[in-house]
Amino acid sequence: MQSLRYFYPELTLIVAMLLVVIADISFKRLRSVLNPLLTIVSLLLAAYFTAYINHSQEANLFLGMLALDSFAQFFKLFLLLAAFLVVLGSLQSEELSQVHQGEFFALLLAVTLGMLLMANSINLAILYLSLELVSLTSYIMVGYLKGDRLSNEASLKYILFGAISTGSMLYGFSLIYGMTGSLNLYTIRDAFLSQGVQGFDQFTTLLALVLALAGFGFKTALVPFHFWCPDVYAGAPTPVTAFLSVAPKAAGFGILVRFFFSGMTQTTGSEWGLVNGINWPLVLIGISVLTMTLGNVAALTQNNLKRMLAYSSIAQAGYILMGSVVLTGEGLKSMLIYLFVYLFMNLGAFLVVTIIYNSDKSFEIGDYNGMFKRSPFLAFAMGVFMLSLTGIPPFAGFLGKLYVFLAVIEKGLIWFAVVGTLNAALAAFYYMRVIKAMVLEEGNGNVAPLQVSFLNQALLVALLIPNLLLVFFWNPIDRWTASSARLFGGL
């Protein structure tokens, strides 16, 4: 019962989810206003509770099921902000206006609840259940356009890949439980420490880690668990695609760090050391290189902007993973910084895609030709987001890549940083292609000004400000992420 006072954010989302369902059924004339209003208020209230919960003292909740620490607080605030921005961006989406939106808001709250639980799970059972909550509700959101063949196909592919990945992860968890006799990550770590490197069969341990990685890789779209990503992103409603590209991906990195850092390492001064003799960071380095390279190479040939951004998000996952494989506090901090700036640049790009689709009903890059003449503001905003995703200074995306590359170099992995830099240069080709189409190419005959609603204009400005000005107010972000790179029972 004492743990409940730290559980207010999750309880708020549970109550709000029920209220949205009740309002959708009971107040049919007002539900178009009540549903988004209840969703927005609940997300803000949950963020308030998260910000003011005391994280100065680390603790575990519910008999070792969840961790209370600054790392969990960072991810909770991040995920609630992402959900809030996606709700605002979905209010005037032409795709979602074609269907009843009541269930959409309830599903969004359910996904957010699952992600909050993922971010601070230190028990393998809770970790799996929270991931399943996120997955099952995401499958429905992807197939939300029931009359759209691509949406239905995307949902089916998502389910199939998800079932295989999470099934593999659960089997890996069962092997770990069989070896250590516990589902708690810290007890698992202690078991590896007490038995020593030769205490467990190395092949079985490696197999368990690889199987567990399948579930984390699925959520974060890491190679080779990325195959679902392009088709799902292209077929899902654009607000759902924007949400999947940021929030579940971030939550996936949160549980990946929890699992490997809390259960498979021990703190040694300012770094983490391996406890089971398996050099899993080397495996993740290989996955990071493959992920960023494949994502960037595949994005070069895409003509559909949603598919291009899907491959772009795969490549971005490779950059984010760089920070979590060096086993240092600076590396973990760089991962949090990259996630923070990625939120604003990626959601901004998808918001521009949503606005243009509302007018032109197209996701083809060729149909963006001459967009600067139709809407200079949209062309400018998209240019900023593309340059930020590329990592061009002085935009926020440059700071994200800078911190990640510096953390890798400080660890002595200079070749790894060189690979990341070359991939960033490669990515510039397809990001600049979008800017070229909007600014330099001749239009396709449609010269009518593209109207942008006041709400979407305000949201675009809110997303542009961090990309443009964050570099001038960087110290608070640096301090916040540095204090958040602390795990319960670790650094």
d(CA 261, CA 491): 10
pLDDT of residue 44: 94
User: Shortest CA distance to 143 belongs to which of 129, 130, 157?
Assistant: 157
**Number of domains comprising the chain:** 1
Domain that holds residue 413: 286-491
341 and 396 Cβ atoms separated by less than 8 Å: yes
d(CA 303, CA 291): 21
Chain centre to alpha carbon of residue 53: 23
- pLDDT tens column, 328-357: 888 889 999 999 999 999 999 999 999 988
Q: Pull the structure tokens for residue 333.
A: 């901090």
Q: pLDDT tier at 430 (50, 70, 90 boundaries)?
A: very high
Using the structure block, give the residue that is written with the tokens 């001459």.
370
Chain centre to alpha carbon of residue 270: 27
Q: Pull the structure tokens for residue 210.
A: 């690889």
- Angle in degrees, CA 460, 9, 137, rounded to 5: 70
Q: Pull the structure tokens for residue 41.
A: 């208020």
Task: Return the SS3 of 481.
Answer: helix
- pLDDT tens column, 155-189: 888 999 889 888 999 999 999 998 888 888 888 88
d(CA 460, CA 467): 11
On whether residue 482 sits in a domain, the answer given is: yes
On whether residue 317 sits in a domain, the answer given is: yes
363 and 373 Cβ atoms separated by less than 8 Å: no
The pTM for the full model equals 0.92
* pLDDT, mean over the chain: 86
List Cβ neighbours of 332 (8 Å cut-off, separation of 6 or more).
257, 261, 323, 324, 485, 491
On whether residue 471 sits in a domain, the answer given is: yes
When pLDDT is averaged across residues 422-432 and rounded to a whole number, the result is 92
List phi, psi (to 5°) of 296.
-70, -40
Q: pLDDT tier at 55 (50, 70, 90 boundaries)?
A: low
